[in-house]
Amino acid sequence: MKKPKWLEKERLYSILFESDEPMGRIFDLVLIVAISLSILISFVETIPELARTFKLTLEVLEYLLTFFFTLEYIARVYCSPRPKDYVLSFFGIIDLLATLPPYLSYFFPNARYMILLRSFRFIRIFRIFKLFNYINEGHLLLRSLKRSFTKITVYFLFVLILVTCLGTLMFMIESGRPDTAFTDLGTSVYWAIVTMTTVGYGDITPVTPVGRLLSAFVMLLGYTIIAVPTGIVTANMIDDTKSEKAKQKERRCPLCDTKVRKTDHFCPNCGAELPAT
C-alpha cells in the first residue's frame, strides 16, 4: 500500500519546519493557537478559583494538547534529516520537557511529587519562543540579535567593569560613616547596578555630599549607556531589512506572477513550486 504523500519524510519536513507552502502555513497557525492555549492554561491553573471552576475543562484540554505536542515531537524526530541534532537542540529539549510531565504523573501519583511535576509544566511557556520561527519579522529579529551578540557581549563586560569600579569608589567614599548602607563591596556594586540602570529602588542611598554627587553622575551616565545595545541591534535590523528587500526585488512566481522572496520554495499566493535560484 502506497504511503500518503503528506507522510513522506520530505513532504512532512516541509510542512513542519518550513512555512513556504499552504499546508505549512496552516500547520504553523494551528501550532501557534495550541501554544497560546497551553500558555493560557498555565496562567489559569495558578488562579485557585478558576482552576476549581474549570477543573474538568482544563484537564481535558491538557490531555488534548499533550497528545498534539507528542505527535508533533515524534513527527519532527521522524522527518528530520538528522534526528539527533533536533532532539539535542534548544527547541527539541523544550518540546520534550514540555510534553513529559503529564506522562510522568502516572509513575509519580503521590501528591507531594505532583507539586514538582506541575512546576515542570510551566516549561511550556518557553514554547512562545517558537513563534519567532513562523513570522518573517521573527527571523529578522533573531538574525539581528545573533549578529549583534559579540558587540553586546563586549558592551556588557564593559558595563560590568564600570559598575564594579563605581561601586568600589562609592564604598571608599561612604564606608565608615555612622548611618551608611554601604557596608561592603557587594552592596556597593549592587547600588551601582540599580542606579546606572535607572531602576532606583531607594533601599541604599549615599549620605555624604561627595557620595550624592557621584550618585547623580551615575544616574546621568545610565541614560547615555542604556541606549547603546538598542542602537547596535537597530543598526543590524536596518541592514537586514535593506538586504531582505533587495533579495525580494526581482523574483516572481512563473504561474501567477506574484512577487516572492528569494528564500521561498513555494508561491505564497497559488502554492506552486518555485524554480531553484
Q: What is the pLDDT of residues 54-101, one digit of tens each?
A: 889 988 998 898 888 889 889 888 888 888 888 888 778 877 877 777
Question: Tell me, what's the pLDDT at 112?
Answer: 45
H helices present in 18-54, as ranges: 22-45, 48-53
Low-confidence ranges of the chain (pLDDT < 50): 1, 6, 111-117
What does the alpha-carbon distance between residue 135 and residue 38 come to, in Å, rounded to a whole number?
20
pLDDT at 119: 54
Element of type H or E holding 212: helix 209-225
Contact 256, 272 (CB under 8 A): yes
- For the chain, give the mean pLDDT: 77
CB 140 within 8 A of CB 225: no
CA distance 265 to 129: 24
Instruction: Output the pLDDT for position 194.
Output: 92
pTM (predicted TM-score)? 0.52
Instruction: With CA atoms as reference, report the closest residue to 122 among 151, 101, 136.
Output: 101
